């Protein structure tokens, strides 16, 4: 046993921290002489000093403390580091314990390896200054603050032996998503799930300003977190290593006691978990004062103190003094690797936080057992002959997913209180709501500790939980109101970046399950709501994401939705946006046809076309449930009134099938596209979302001007569906008028101008039909305003079932 091992724990921890801090500082500043083997010179300093020192010493304090706890208890601990810009700290610890070397052998634990790490930090092709998927141990993109805590809970769910430590910075703590995530404790079951150990780290300052939490008194902080239902343990004072060790031991004891009680059958009414509130100075152990200004303990420590180290001698001197204050001579062995006493402070193998098996979720992932689609198919005698709720059907399917994977416990549904209202109620036949605090069992009989349906009126919590769950190798679905999913637009942006970087720069990460959104209560049928609940813009956001992982599905009926769901639950590495309707609506495809439709992405529906496999006068194309019904109704009108017109009916269920070849893996080839949409005939495209989404996608498709896209035009108020459709111009009458106007050379208003070039021939009866449709449109709108409901011709309309 070395002399170090005989020292009190505080001193050993402080010694370890000297190494971690030294390496982190070297990373921020040095491109050479990283062991300070010669006096520091300007040319040793990087040209561009980019990084964030301020949060580093606090993360190192916690990292060292958790390592000590793991060594003492052999606990399985995963660390979620909220202060996103603390990457130098995490990387320093991961170099010391060898996790970095495991995934990047060139980052070896010797002079050369450390030199590479130091140089490649904040360097082109190297490590960014924030936590990112290329940092081992990471399940959380550290750029946009606010999501660490919810992500930590997602990782702890259904991992009963795991402790997820989560550092929440006092900057991040100001965000709404974090403020709401503290309530996640009420969803975590001590019997079947692991623990989350939050460490609220108060270093007092953000980029430029003091933090709210640091301005709160100890009494306020204690009350706040007790009110949230936690047991807060304050860690502060002179001996932070010792105080932290004590608090961690207490917390660990409380966690294990709670778990043992719950697992032994004596669950407390409210499981009160411990959490730590740690006060340490910003930039602790850094430069005290420079240029007459206080640095340590202020926001001046936030990024890079002594910024002019390359050009100003006094900055260079301050930096050298700072680095030497850690005693680099004692920190490394002869080969330039970590000194034995320092390496001994780290766990080994899978017990290292950076190597915790749950972090590489793709490797832990067990594929879901999925029900046979044939068991859930909606029967179809004739297209449109019967109605069914697509969401109702998928609810039964997902219920069976729960049943088939009950033993594995690797599937969850997260939702902002809309499972039942979105007709997924079948889920409650087989699974309960997760909830730990007492609720009235008479009124809410399906609320049980250990349930796996998580409903909370916080899209941020849903998203964070699901990210943590999926990134640790499990599966889930997020059903949400279509209009409100933009609430998590920022989170999904960052998650997309995490996937992109994982795929391209962290080959050791195996693919995780896809993140599945099931958007429903779609804008076109907002019965109890109105204009504020109409918002299809998340589709447009998906178009900004990388093609490798972005998918948008708009299945037209229940069987297509079921086949799409099966596909999405099997696919890895994607963000799947599935848009479906909860209302009973006509069904169009048999399961076999639906599966073929999903494979193709877009297909012609022969039973709704009358082009007799020849060249049609125009193409009617739909994408979405209600837009498909209206366009079929328009096709029906045209068939009756203008039988001479040859129409091909196309449905698009995979929006990215429209993308130009090379722009997306699901893009149709030029040949397929031309075969479906013809090479030059007009296309009336009736779309679920904003027309701009289609405009973007068909950019660079030949003669894209012939596509006339109808969709949501931000016109809406309290309306019946017909009225809403008419306001936006996607109703059957306006579509039929549009179709005739695009084709008939006799309809003068469209012949003029650019669009006229598509008018193909004289269609007899076109003018009369247009007049008739205009009248019907006006009459129907009048009816709606008088009766407060759609006219019977609309409500009782059904597809005739016969091919023209």
For a second copy, give the closer residue by CB, 265 or 528.
Answer: 528
Is residue 370 involved in binding a second copy (CB under 8 A)?
A: no
List all residues 6 or more positions away from 795 whose beta carbon is below 8 Å from its beta carbon. 789
Q: Which is nearer to a second copy, 21 or 122 (CB)?
A: 122
We find the least distance from the C-beta atom of residue 430 to a second copy, in angstroms, to be 17
Footprint of a second copy on residues 767-796 (CB under 8 A)? 784-785, 787-789
Count of beta carbons in the 10 Å neighbourhood of residue 472: 29
Stretch that binds a second copy, among 205-213, 368-376, 593-601, 765-773 (CB under 8 A): 205-213
Span of 15-23, 283-291, 403-411, 455-463 interacting with a second copy by CB under 8 A:
455-463
The dihedral sign for the CA sequence 740, 743, 748, 754: positive
Which of 97, 91, 107, 88 has its CA nearest to residue 70? 97
Per CB under 8 A, contacts with a second copy among 67-106 are 84-85
User: Using the rule CB under 8 A, which residue among 72, 106, 223, 291 binds a second copy?
Assistant: 223
Min CB(16)–a second copy separation in Å: 27
Indicate whether 178 belongs to the interface with a second copy (CB under 8 A).
Answer: yes
Q: How many residues lie near a second copy (CB under 8 A)?
A: 136
With b meaning 16 or more CB within 10 Å and e meaning fewer, what string describes 371-392?
Answer: bebeebbbebeebbeeebbbbb
Report the Cα 178 to chain-centroid distance in Å: 16
How far apart are the C-alpha atoms of 185 and 150, rounded to whole Å? 10
For a second copy, give the closer residue by CB, 355 or 784. Answer: 784
Site for a second copy in 597-656 (CB under 8 A): none
> Is residue 213 a contact partner of residue 200, using CB atoms and an 8 Å limit?
yes
Minimum distance of a second copy from residue 418's CB (angstroms):
7
Bridge partners, 80 (sequence order): 166
| 3-class DSSP assignment, residue 21 | helix
Residues numbered 225 to 244 that lie near a second copy (CB under 8 A) are: 225-229
Beta strand pairing call for 273-279 and 550-553: unpaired
Residue 441 DSSP symbol: T
**What residues numbered 4-43 form the site for a second copy, per CB under 8 A?**
31
Pick between residue 484 and residue 607 the one whose CB is nearest to a second copy: 484
Q: With binding defined as CB under 8 A, does residue 484 bind a second copy?
A: yes
Least distance (Å) between residue 272 CB and a second copy = 10
**Beta bridge partner(s), residue 434:** 448
Residues 424-443 vs a second copy: string with x where CB under 8 A? Answer: ---------x-x-xxxx-xx
Which of 528, 614, 752, 802 touches a second copy (CB under 8 A)?
Answer: 528
Residue 330 or 504: the one with the smaller Cβ distance to a second copy is 504
- In the complex, the smallest distance separating the C-beta of residue 205 from a second copy, rounded to whole angstroms, is 8
Q: Determine, following the binding rule CB under 8 A, whether residue 128 of this chain makes contact with a second copy.
A: yes
Distance CA 353, CA 536 (A): 41
Examine residue 674 and tell whether it contacts a second copy (CB under 8 A). no
Does position 560 interact with a second copy (CB under 8 A)? The reply is no
Rounded least distance, CB 201 to a second copy, Å: 14
Judged by CB under 8 A, the stretch of 191-199, 414-422, 506-514, 740-748 that binds a second copy is 414-422
Position among 70, 79, 91, 145 found at the interface with a second copy (CB under 8 A): 145
Residue 418 or 611 with smaller CB distance to a second copy: 418
Q: Which of 2, 39, 207, 429 binds a second copy (CB under 8 A)?
A: 207
Q: Which of 167, 181, 251, 552 binds a second copy (CB under 8 A)?
A: 181
Shortest distance, position 460 Cβ to a second copy, whole Å: 4
Rounded Cα–Cα distance for residues 116 and 41 (Å)? 19
527 binds a second copy (CB under 8 A): yes
To a second copy, the closest distance from the beta carbon of 458 in angstroms equals 5
Containing H/E element for 401?
helix 390-404
Rounded to a whole number of angstroms, the CA Rg of the chain reads 31
Residue 183 binds a second copy (CB under 8 A): yes
* Inter-residue contact 511 to 475 (CB < 8 Å): no
Q: Closest distance between a second copy and the C-beta of residue 709, in Å?
A: 9
Task: Determine the interface stretch with a second copy among 115-123, 403-411, 615-623, 737-745 (rule: CB under 8 A).
Answer: 115-123
Our finding on whether 294 is near a second copy (CB under 8 A) is yes
**Does residue 659 bind a second copy (CB under 8 A)?**
no
Print burial letters for 395-421: b (CB count within 10 Å at least 16), e (below 16): bbbbbbbbeebeeebbbbbbbbebbeb
Note the maximum CA span of the chain: 101
Q: Among residue numbers 693 through 752, which ones bind a second copy (CB under 8 A)?
A: 695-696, 699-700, 702, 704-705, 714, 717-720, 723
Instruction: Provide, rounded to whole angstroms, the least separation between the CB of residue 44 and a second copy.
Output: 13
- Cβ neighbors of 102 (< 8 A, separation 6 or more) are 136, 355
543 binds a second copy (CB under 8 A): yes
Q: What is the dihedral of CA 184, 186, 187, 188, to 10 degrees?
A: 90
Rule CB under 8 A: choose which of 3, 43, 74, 125 binds a second copy.
125
By beta-carbon proximity to a second copy, the closer residue of 173 and 770 is 173
The answer to whether residue 63 forms part of the interface with a second copy (CB under 8 A) is: no
What's the closest the beta carbon of residue 340 comes to a second copy, in angstroms? 33
Smallest distance from the beta carbon of 144 to a second copy, in angstroms?
A: 6
- Window 303 to 332, contacts with a second copy (CB under 8 A): 303-304
Show the tokens assigned to 259: 């778990």
Q: How far is CA 194 from the centre of its chain?
A: 22
Question: Which stretch, 154-162, 221-229, 273-281, 311-319, contacts a second copy (CB under 8 A)?
Answer: 221-229
Q: Which two tokens stand for residue 785?
A: 């305003």
Contact stretch for a second copy (CB under 8 A) within 125-133, 346-354, 378-386, 585-593: 125-133
Nearest to 552 by CA among 503, 602, 608: 602
What tokens does 273 get?
Answer: 């978990």
CB of 299 to a second copy, least distance (A): 7
Tokens of 739: 């179709």
Instruction: Check residue 116 for interaction with a second copy (CB under 8 A).
Output: no
- Does 299 participate in binding a second copy (rule CB under 8 A)? yes
C-alpha separations of 404 from 236, 364, 367, 399, 425 in Å? 49, 18, 12, 9, 18
Q: What is the C-alpha separation between 369 and 405, in angstroms, rounded?
A: 6
Verify binding: residue 671, a second copy, rule CB under 8 A.
Answer: no
Residue 281, interface with a second copy (CB under 8 A)? no
Contacts of 435 (CB under 8 A, 6+ apart): 186, 187, 447, 448, 449, 451
Is the Cβ–Cβ distance between 762 and 746 less than 8 Å?
yes
Beta bridge partners of 520: 481
* Residue 135 near residue 50 (C-beta atoms within 8 A): no
Nearest-angstrom CA–CA distance, 612 and 647: 9
Query: Nearest 5°: phi and psi at 451?
Result: -65, 160
Q: Which is nearer to a second copy, 326 or 712 (CB)?
A: 712
């Amino acid at each position: 046993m070395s002399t170090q091992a005989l020292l009190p724990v505080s001193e050993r921890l402080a010694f370890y921290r000297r190494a971690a801090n030294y390496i982190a500082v070297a990373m921020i500043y040095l491109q050479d002489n990283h062991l300070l083997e010669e006096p520091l010179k300007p040319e040793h300093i990087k040209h561009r000093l980019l990084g964030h020192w301020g949060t580093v010493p606090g993360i190192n304090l916690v990292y060292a403390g958790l390592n000590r706890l793991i060594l003492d208890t052999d606990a399985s601990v995963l660390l979620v580091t909220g202060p996103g810009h603390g990457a130098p700290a995490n990387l320093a610890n991961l170099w010391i314990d060898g996790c970095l070397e495991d995934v990047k052998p060139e980052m070896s634990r010797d002079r050369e390896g450390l030199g590479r790490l130091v140089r490649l930090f904040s360097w082109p092709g190297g490590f960014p200054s924030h936590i990112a998927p290329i940092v081992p141990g990471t399940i959380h993109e550290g750029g946009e603050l606010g999501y660490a805590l919810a992500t930590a809970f997602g990782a702890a769910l259904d991992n009963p032996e795991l402790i997820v430590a989560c550092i929440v910075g006092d900057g991040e703590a100001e965000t709404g998503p974090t403020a709401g995530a503290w309530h996640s404790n009420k969803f975590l079951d001590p019997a079947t799930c692991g623990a989350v150990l939050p460490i609220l780290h108060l270093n007092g300052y953000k980029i430029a300003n003091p933090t709210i939490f640091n301005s709160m008194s100890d009494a306020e902080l204690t009350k706040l977190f007790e009110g949230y239902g936690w047991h807060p343990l304050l860690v502060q004072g002179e001996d932070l290593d010792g105080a932290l060790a004590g608090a961690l031991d207490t917390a660990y004891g409380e966690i294990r006691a709670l778990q043992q009680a719950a697992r032994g059958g004596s669950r407390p009414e409210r499981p009160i978990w411990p959490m730590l509130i740690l006060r340490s100075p910003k930039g602790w152990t850094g430069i005290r004062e420079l240029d007459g200004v206080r640095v340590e303990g202020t926001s001046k420590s936030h990024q890079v103190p002594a910024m002019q180290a390359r050009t100003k001698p006094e900055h260079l001197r301050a930096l050298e003094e700072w680095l030497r204050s850690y005693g680099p001579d004692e920190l490394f062995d002869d080969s330039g690797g970590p000194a034995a006493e320092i390496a001994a402070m780290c766990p080994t193998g899978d017990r290292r936080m950076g190597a915790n098996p749950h972090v590489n979720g793709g490797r832990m992932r067990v594929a879901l057992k999925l029900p046979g689609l044939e068991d859930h198919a909606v029967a179809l005698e004739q297209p449109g002959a019967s109605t069914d709720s697509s969401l109702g059907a998928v609810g039964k399917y997902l219920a069976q997913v729960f049943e088939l994977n009950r033993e594995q416990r690797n599937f969850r549904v997260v939702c902002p209180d809309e499972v039942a209202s979105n007709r997924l109620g079948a889920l409650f036949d087989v699974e309960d709501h997760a909830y730990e605090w007492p609720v009235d069992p008479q009124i809410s009989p399906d609320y049980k500790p250990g349930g796996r349906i998580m409903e909370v009126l916080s899209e941020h919590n849903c998203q964070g939980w699901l990210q943590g769950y999926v990134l640790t190798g499990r599966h889930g679905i997020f059903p949400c109101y279509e209009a409100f999913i933009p609430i998590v637009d920022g989170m999904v942006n960052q998650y997309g970046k995490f996937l992109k970087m994982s795929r391209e720069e962290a080959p050791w990460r195996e693919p995780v399950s896809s993140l599945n959104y099931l958007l429903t209560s779609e804008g076109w049928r907002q019965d109890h709501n109105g204009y504020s609940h109409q918002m299809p813009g998340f589709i447009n956001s998906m178009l900004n994401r990388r093609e490798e992982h972005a998918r948008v599905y708009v299945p037209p009926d229940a069987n297509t939705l079921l086949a799409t769901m099966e596909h999405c639950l099997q696919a890895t590495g994607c963000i799947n946006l599935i848009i479906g309707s909860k209302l009973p609506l006509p069904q169009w495809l048999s399961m076999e046809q639906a599966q073929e439709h999903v494979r193709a992405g877009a297909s012609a529906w022969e039973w709704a076309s009358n082009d007799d496999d020849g060249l049609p006068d125009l193409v009617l194309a739909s994408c979405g449930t209600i837009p498909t019904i209206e366009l079929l109704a328009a096709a029906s009108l045209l068939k009756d009134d203008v039988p001479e017109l040859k129409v091909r009916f196309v449905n698009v269920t995979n929006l990215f099938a429209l993308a130009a070849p090379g722009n997306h893996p699901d893009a149709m080839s030029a040949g397929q596209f031309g075969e479906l949409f013809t090479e030059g005939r007009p296309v009336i495209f009736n779309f679920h979302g904003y027309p701009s989404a289609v405009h973007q996608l068909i950019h660079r498709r030949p003669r894209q001007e012939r596509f006339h896209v109808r969709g949501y035009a931000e016109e809406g108020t309290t309306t019946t569906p017909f009225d809403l459709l008419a306001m936006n111009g996607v109703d059957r009458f306006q579509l039929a008028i549009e179709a005739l106007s695009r084709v008939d050379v006799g309809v003068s208003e469209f012949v003029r101008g650019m669009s006229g070039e598509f008018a193909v021939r004289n269609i007899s009866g076109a003018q009369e039909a247009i007049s008739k449709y205009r009248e019907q449109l006006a009459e129907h709108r009048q009816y709606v305003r008088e009766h407060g409901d759609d006219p019977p011709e609309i409500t009782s309309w059904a597809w005739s079932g016969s091919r023209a």
